[in-house]
Amino acid sequence: MTISILTVLGLVLLKLSINILHPRQWTLQQSISDAYMTYERSYAERVPFDTLVASGSPWPLYPTVTTTNVTLGKLPGGLALTGTVSRTRMADSTNNYPADGGTGTTINNPAAMKIWKAQSVLTYMVGNRTYVKSRTVLRSQ
């Protein structure tokens, strides 16, 4: 009788400890994906403007999308967390001139600035759930 009570108590304590660790695992996975999206944002900010708007840009002109499989990091136990990054760019149509894909005029854009949005979307799965995160960077010249 005593052994069965101790066994049940041990199983209950094991279940409680697993319930405590589960949210920490989720937080770790979110931190890894946030760190990767910080990289995407900094990459979009540091790439030269001429490279960003070129035909061979890492962010192709919308509606074309570049999709790349990436490894975000490793989880405890050596399990790799992988995802897919989709990139595209689009002109800010209210400010860019018609030659840049916009409708801007000298009235609403007197400095003739070129403004582009570079968007990166990360999609990854944890268990049977799919998560999506995105970052958009405005670049101007």
Query: Does some domain include residue 13?
Result: no
Query: Does some domain include residue 113?
Result: yes
Q: How many domains does the chain have?
A: 1
Determine the average pLDDT of the residues in 5-10. Answer: 76
User: Does residue 95 carry a pLDDT above 70?
Assistant: no
Determine the average pLDDT of the residues in 1-24. Answer: 71
Q: What is the average pLDDT value for the chain, to the nearest integer?
A: 78
Query: Does some domain include residue 14?
Result: no
Q: What is the pLDDT of residues 22-47, one digit of tens each?
A: 556 667 777 888 888 888 899 988 99
Query: Does some domain include residue 6?
Result: no
What is the C-alpha separation between 125 and 80, in angstroms, rounded?
A: 11
Determine the average pLDDT of the residues in 125-134. Answer: 85
Q: Measuring CA to CA, which residue among 72, 10, 15, 63 is closest to residue 40?
A: 72
Domain span at residue 48?
Answer: 21-140
Query: Does some domain include residue 2?
Result: no
* Degrees, nearest 5: CA angle 44-138-37: 40
Distance of CA 106 to the CA centre of its chain: 35
Query: Does some domain include residue 81?
Result: yes
Query: Does some domain include residue 11?
Result: no
User: Does residue 64 carry a pLDDT above 60?
Assistant: yes
- Helix H segments across 2-136? 2-46, 49-52
Query: Does some domain include residue 125?
Result: yes
